[in-house]
Structure formats: structure tokens, C-alpha cells
Amino acid sequence: MHLDETLQVFASIYQYDYDGYQDELQQFDPIRGAGANFVSNADGITNTGFEIELYYAATDRLTLSGNFSYTETEYGEDYFVFTVDDPINPVPVFGTFTQGFVSAQVTDPSQASDYTVNLKGGPLKGIPEEKATIRVSYEQDTRFGPLYYLLSHSYTGDFSASGIQRPLDRIDSRETTNLNISWYSQDGNLSLRAYVDNLFDNDNYYALSTGDHETNYRKSVTALPPRVMGLDIRYRF
């Protein structure tokens, strides 16, 4: 506690080491002679970083809070990913393949090395280095009872969707701002909440995949919701 017990600060530094870390990636299956998306174990994984969180009661009505985290991850040992989704290395041009029912099959297993990437030394897929959130809450008295305002803004840094460090798989950083106003009756039985999520209607997504030459390397993303406005009415009886 600081500043006459109006400020709370929590912080931590951490390092985790993993063997047998399970990850789901596209890898070459020598039994099938083809690429397949399955879970396998990765050894020598490290996850190092720090995080800090604070709460500050600026006045009796105004509270500021936020958190920040920084994370560095690494595949510490060999971990091979199979990739046939790179338009600069098209399979029909650089490899002799027999098209299978589900995926491209390698006629010569040694050719698979042309489409294999070692993730050793790179960061883990799907984990951004930086994340942060800022929140502002305020209480206002009205003739109908108090109103509670909450404004939050979050930031998530960019990261690789596949673990391969290339622009093709990069998911851009994103920012989201949410606002809501709440009211509660004196007896606590009735509450109203008006909200706007993604206030600035940012185009955000959190997952990405790329097809192969058969789909003209089409990229697909999983989008986060656009701006959403609503009103919650709750009555307890």
C-alpha cells in the first residue's frame, strides 16, 4: 500500500521451463508420408517475463487501475513444422507430389525437408510479448441513485499464428475500448447496464490460417466482434 493506502501495486518476475510441452501444429508424418495437424511434445521450452498490476483510488469516486505484462518464449530444442502453405515455395514447382485424397503426399520422404521449418530459437506460437489494460471507474450521484461508469482499453501485441517467423503468419497487434454505465436500485433488486463493446469498431482477429496451392493460398481469419451496443435489465425476486 502506498500514498496513504490509496495505491496498491502487485508485481512478479517469472521463468518457466517445460519438457513435454504439447503443441498442435502442422507436422510431417512419415507413416502417412504427408503433412498432418496433430499434437506433439516439444522439449526445452522456456517462458520468461514479468507482470505488474496497480490500483489507485484517486478520489472517493474515481479509481484508476491497469496491468502490463511482458513475455519472452522460446522453442529451446529442435521442433519441426511442415509447411505447404507458402506461396513463395509452391509444391507443384519445387517438389514432386502425388495428390492424395486429403493432402499432398510425398513420394520421396527426403523431399519433406524442403517444406519443413525448425522452430528452435523462435517464440511459441500464439503468445504476444506485450499485453496491457487500463481501466477508469467513476461513481456519480443522481436523483435516481448512483451511476457507475467503467471505461477500459486493452492492447495485445502481435504474434505468429504458426510459430514460423514470417509475415504470412503474423497476427497484427490489436486494441479494444469498452464502455459501460450501470445503475442499481436502492433495494438491489433492479439493475440496468448500458454498454458499448469495441467502442471504436476496430477490425480485430485472433486466429489465422493459410491454404495451399489448391486454394490459391487463401488466408482465413477468426474475427473478434465488431462494435456491439446493448442494454441489460435484471430484476431479482
| Mean pLDDT along residues 82-96 | 76
Question: To which H or E segment does residue 92 belong?
Answer: helix 91-94
User: pLDDT at residue 207 above 60?
Assistant: yes
Amino acid of residue 104: A
CA–CA gap between residue 212 and residue 87 (Å, rounded): 8
Look at domain 7-235 and name its CATH class: mainly beta
Domain residues of the chain, as ranges? Answer: 7-235
- pLDDT tens figures, 122-145: 999 999 999 999 999 999 988 888
C-alpha cell at 6: 490509496
CA–CA gap between residue 28 and residue 84 (Å, rounded): 10
User: pLDDT at residue 46 above 70?
Assistant: yes
Split at pLDDT 50, 70, 90, the class of 172 is very high
pLDDT for 199 equals: 97
